[in-house]
Structure 1
Amino acid sequence: MLRFMPVGDSMTIGSAGEHTWRYRLWQHLCASYGGPFTLVGPRETLYDKQADAPTSYAYADPSFPRAHLAGWGEGWLHMAPLIGEAVRSCRADVLLVSLGLIDLGFYTNAEQTAENVRSFTARARAANRRIRMVWLPVVPNVRARTEPAFGAEVARFNELLAKAAADLDEPGSPLLLASPPPSYDIHADTYDGTHPNTSGEHKIAAAFAEAMHQGWGLGDPYES
């Protein structure tokens, strides 16, 4: 059985009442991947905005493997120390990673964030030397649109992420850089300029699905 672990921030954990892109990708793989698979991770909840805590199980459709390693306000900085144990305990085969916005917004600059990417990768591989990874660059968001300096930092980090993907890719532990959704629009695909709405969920899921289809021949092209 192929075990996928979604790793991310608020856009991946989602909040109460949402489907999440994790659900959309699950649906896609159910329809297009020929072998047994599941989603794994040490966490299952959504973020509850009223409680200001990740305590909700109120998925719009809870009938899918809800496991993940994602947290509201968490980034590469936070996930690097956790990934080794998560990979070991959940026996993950493929990491689907969407991180970076939180790091750049509150904790680290582009270069420091890229160093945490490399630390994350080393720790994941120490736990499973054949781990596969798909990284999604930071997608368009309102802060990058309205603050030129922050937008430049996001662009710089995405360049460094691409370089890290090229540097760290290995035949025994392949690494794919997903393409940011080309039509992603902060007005049409988010509910607040950052967090995905239904169409945004589909576009993020499609980015991961297309990377795996094109890079590894896994699954079919994404159909929303």
Structure 2
Amino acid sequence: MLRFMPVGDSMTIGSAGEHTWRYRLWRHLCVAYDGPFTFVGPRETLYDKQADAPTSLAYADPAFPRAHLAGWGEGWLHMAPLIGDAVRAHRPDVLLVSLGLIDLGFYTNAEQTAENVRAFVAGAREADPRIRMVLLPVIPNIRAAADAPFAEQVDRFNVLLAKAVADLDEPRSPLLLASPPEGYDLGTDTYDGTHPNARGEHLIAEAFAGAMREAWGVGQTYVAGTS
């Protein structure tokens, strides 16, 4: 059985009432992948905005493997120290990682964030030397549209992320840099300029699915209508 662990920030954990891109990818793989698979991880909840805590299980459709390692307001800085234990405990084959926006917005600059990427990869590989990873570039949000220095940091980090993937990729533990979600538009694909709506969820899921299909032959072409 192929075991995926989604790792991310608020765009990955999602909030109460949402499907999440995790669900959209699961639905896609149910149709497009010819083999058993599941999602694993130490957490299952959504973020409850009223409680200001990740305590909700109110998925728009809860009938899927909801396990993940994602947190509202968490980034590479937070996940790098956690990933080793999570990999040892839950034995994922593939990490699907979408992180960085929160780091750049509140905690670390592009260079520091890239160092945390490398620490994350090292921690995951220490736990499982054969683990595979798909890394999604940071999707600029509404702040980047109005804050030029922040936008420059996002662009700089995405360059450094690509360099880290190229530097660290190895045959026994391959790293993939996913393409940014094609056609992603803050006006039509988010509900607040940052967090994905249904269309945005599909586009993020498609970015991960496309990377795995092209590089590893996992699944078929993503069709939004199936998920």
Tell me the TM-score normalized by structure 1.
Answer: 0.99
* 2:171 alignment counterpart: 171
Higher mean displacement: 71-80 or 135-144: 135-144
* 1:34 alignment counterpart: 34
Q: Which amino acid aligns with 1:151?
A: A
Q: Distance in 2 between matches of 1:220 and 1:13?
A: 25
Q: Distance in 1 between matches of 2:24 and 2:105?
A: 27
Q: Distance in 2 between matches of 1:181 and 1:136?
A: 9
User: What is the deviation of 1:145?
Assistant: 1.0
Alignment of 1:52-201 (within 5 A): 52-201=52-201
Cα-to-partner distance string for 1:95-146 (whole Å, 9 max, x where unaligned): 0000000000000000000000000000000000100000000013101111
Residue correspondences, number: 224
Q: Distance in 2 between matches of 1:136 and 1:145?
A: 20
Determine what percentage of the aligned residue pairs are the same residue.
78
| Runs of 5+ unmatched residues, structure 2 | none
Q: What's the RMSD between the two structures over aligned residues?
A: 0.4
| Runs of 5+ unmatched residues, structure 1 | none
Tell me the TM-score normalized by structure 2.
Answer: 0.98
Contact 2:140/2:154, CA 8 A, preserved across alignment: no
* 1:9 alignment counterpart: 9
Q: Distance in 1 between matches of 2:6 and 2:57?
A: 17
3-state SS of 1:81 partner: coil
3-state SS of 1:205 partner: helix
Runs of 4+ in structure 1 deviating by more than 6 angstroms, as ranges, are none
